[in-house]
Amino acid sequence: MSTKKNTSETIENDIPLPENEALDLEGSTPTEPTVEEQLQAQKDQNLRLYAEFENFRKRNARERLELISSANENTLKALIPVLDDFERALKNVSSDSEAYTGVHLIYAKLADSLKLQGLKAMESSQGLPFDAETMEAITTIPAPTPDLAGRVIDEIEKGYRIGEKIIRYAKVVVGQV
């Protein structure tokens, strides 16, 4: 008479199972992968690892370029109001005075320095249809003519970009029906 052991070690009739192998539904034991299958699995693993590393390298390079291109953004944002003040001063000083010449020279030098750092003024939006992607409507006024309804009547402040990124939207007055 045989004694029953743990079911994971024996099956009915006390036949011991080989170690680390389990029976599947048909009763056969799983086969070990062939050398070709192991080699293919290793190749797949290496290919995936290489692709993952390439993606990491490209993402890292892209982030580094973004950081370099926008590194001066805060400084340029702080200097834009100074540029605006120079433009207002140039409008309020007569163009034949010495003060105008001095203010214009300083303005031109500052504007050129900021351009070298990547700051670009957006085109004047006066007369164009209002575009919420590039403009900020300060107020609306009745349109002087029907064709100016929904269009920019006046530009209060210029918009500026660094590359393709808008760092200040153009502040405008829009005509309303």
What topology is assigned to 122-177 in CATH?
A: Nucleotide Exchange Factor Grpe; Chain A, domain 2 (2.30.22)
| Residue-level pLDDT at 123 | 94
Q: Quickly list DSSP for 11-46.
A: EGGGEEPPTT----TTSPPPPPPPHHHHHHHHHHHH
141-to-95, 128, 146, 152, 155 alpha-carbon distances in Å = 32, 15, 12, 10, 13
pLDDT for position 10:
46
Q: Mind listing the pLDDT tens digit for each residue in 8-22?
A: 444 455 555 555 445
Dist CA 3 CA 92 (whole Å): 110
| pLDDT above 90 coverage of the chain, percent | 64
Kindly report whether the global pTM for this prediction surpasses the value 0.85.
no
| Predicted confidence band of residue 35 (pLDDT cuts 50, 70, 90) | very high
Please name every residue paired with 166 in a beta bridge, in sequence order, or none if there are none: 161
Residue 1 has pLDDT above 50, yes or no: no
Average pLDDT of the chain is 85
Q: What residue segments make up the domains of the chain, in order of their start?
A: 31-69, 72-120, 122-177
Q: Which two tokens stand for residue 71?
A: 């590194």
Q: Over range 32-47, report the average pLDDT.
A: 93
φ, ψ for residue 127 (rounded to 5)?
90, -15
Q: What is the spatial distance between Cα 87 and Cα 79, in angstroms, rounded to a whole number?
A: 13
What does the pLDDT look like over 118-142, one tens digit per residue?
A: 899 999 999 999 999 999 999 999 9
- Of 4, 11, 9, residue with least CA distance to 20: 9
**Where does the pLDDT of residue 25 fall: very low under 50, low under 70, confident under 90, or very high at 90 and above?**
low
In the block, tokens 């993402």 appear at: 59
Mean pLDDT of 83-109: 92
